Amino acid sequence: MTIAVDCRMIDSSGVGVYFRGILPFFLQSKNDLLLLGNKTRLSSFTPNANVKIIECTIKPFSFRELLFFPAKAAKQINKADVYYTPFFNIPCGIKIPVYTTIHDIIFPDMPELTSRAGLAVRMFFFRRALKKSQKIFTVSEFSKSRIEYHLGKDKPVIVAYCAIQQMFLEYRANNGSIRKKETIIFIGNIKKHKGLDYLLDAFYQAKKEGIPHKLIIIGSKENFRSSDNAVMQKIEAIGTDTVSFTGYVCDETLMEYLSAAALLVQPSLYEGFCFPPLEAMVLGTHALISDIPVLKEIYADYPVTFFRAGDSNHLKEKMLELLLKKENNSPVLSEELLSKYTFEKTASKIFKELE
């Protein structure tokens, strides 16, 4: 079988992590691959005998992709048996069976995150993906239920979970137990559904009750919009010496921060899967996470601590409970839990459907 694979989002954050996780298993398969994307970025894959690259730098979800996708690229893609994209963008001119991944459907669930026009555009692309796809993949049972709720059940929706990146397991094996610092880690952007606003409220109250820890936000301060002034004011009230932004960090630095932290807090109000708690636990750091349905689904069997989503007082109480107890042993994951979510399993699930 020849599979055309859209690789244009390989370096993005959430989608890119998912795609970079499954791509090695595509390369190891007996299938021939046509990789769509930047030839320079994908050149490391060309030594594989089963790989050919289709040069394409047109942005996903762009006007050009939708209406003026190069006929030459489309012709090459249409020589394959199937087309797979790790997101839900589909270029015009694709005539072979299409398989897409919708990681979540947050905007119709939380329309306050965008404008009416923005929601309309996103719903257009969601419905277009559903119409043109043979099957849809997603990353959790929660996301599957929301996709079916908003888009219907006309096409099969297959759950192919996200997973832990291999480098986190290798870092854990190579570095062993790392001495903890008095730091709390938050990983994510500043959009409302990530919950940074009420984490800051909880952290401020916890500081007043005696915790010596600092809050490190893995993300960029420059991404704040003018509407985020209230969040910035909270940070200034707490003190910029106590709350800090790292800006972009590479994977190695991220693992250093996570493994040395006393606690990861994931205060999300909405997720499709959510990597950081799994990454933190693999590196020996406790995860304090909101009790939203998807996190209850993904982390039901793991040694996490849940708190009531959106409740800053309950979050504060749980933070104090975890940070001030005398014995704060690192979480231990069994081999069963370490192997519960793997990209090998994810890729296998996708291959089964493509075939």
Question: DSSP label at 191?
Answer: S
Q: What pLDDT score was predicted for residue 128? A: 97
Q: pTM for the full model?
A: 0.92
- 111 and 223 together in one domain: no
Lowest mean pLDDT among 35-49, 218-232, 293-307, 314-328: 218-232
Task: Give the pLDDT of residue 327.
Answer: 65
- Rounded to an integer, what distance in angstroms lies between the CA atom of residue 266 and that of residue 100? 28
Residue 280 is predicted with a pLDDT of: 96
Give backbone dihedrals phi and psi of 46, rounded to 5 degrees, phi first.
Answer: -70, -25
| pLDDT tens, residue by residue, 202-252 | 999 999 998 999 999 997 655 555 445 677 777 777 877 899 888 888 899
| Residues 157 and 187 reside in one and the same domain | no
Beta-carbon contacts of 149 under 8 Å, excluding residues fewer than 6 positions away, are none
Arithmetic mean of pLDDT, 13-32: 91
Same-domain pairing of 159 and 287: no
Counting every residue, how long is the chain? 355
- Provide, rounded to the nearest whole percent, the portion of the chain with pLDDT above 70: 96
Instruction: Return the CATH number at 100.
Output: 3.40.50.2000
Q: How far is CA 70 from the centre of its chain?
A: 30
Mark residue 274 as left, alpha or beta (left: phi above 0; alpha: psi -120 to 50; beta: remaining).
left
Q: What are phi and psi of 290, to 5 degrees?
A: -70, 155
Is 318 found in the same domain as 282? Answer: yes
Residues 231 and 317 in one domain: yes
Q: Are residues 132 and 206 in the same domain?
A: no
Q: Are residues 52 and 186 in the same domain?
A: no
Q: Are residues 194 and 96 in the same domain?
A: no
Q: Could you report the per-residue pLDDT of 62-76, keeping only the tens digit for each?
A: 999 999 999 999 999
For residue 18, the enclosing domain spans 2-164+341-354
The one-character DSSP state at 25 is H
Instruction: Tell me what pLDDT residue 121 has.
Output: 96
Mark whether 16 and 124 lie in a shared domain: yes
In this prediction, residues 249-260 reach a mean pLDDT of 93
- Triad 271, 273, 274: Cα angle to 5°: 75
**213 shares a domain with 128:** no
How many domains, in total, are found in the chain?
2
Indicate whether 204 and 73 sit together in one domain. no
Name the more confident of 188 and 26.
Answer: 26
146 and 275 fall within a common domain: no
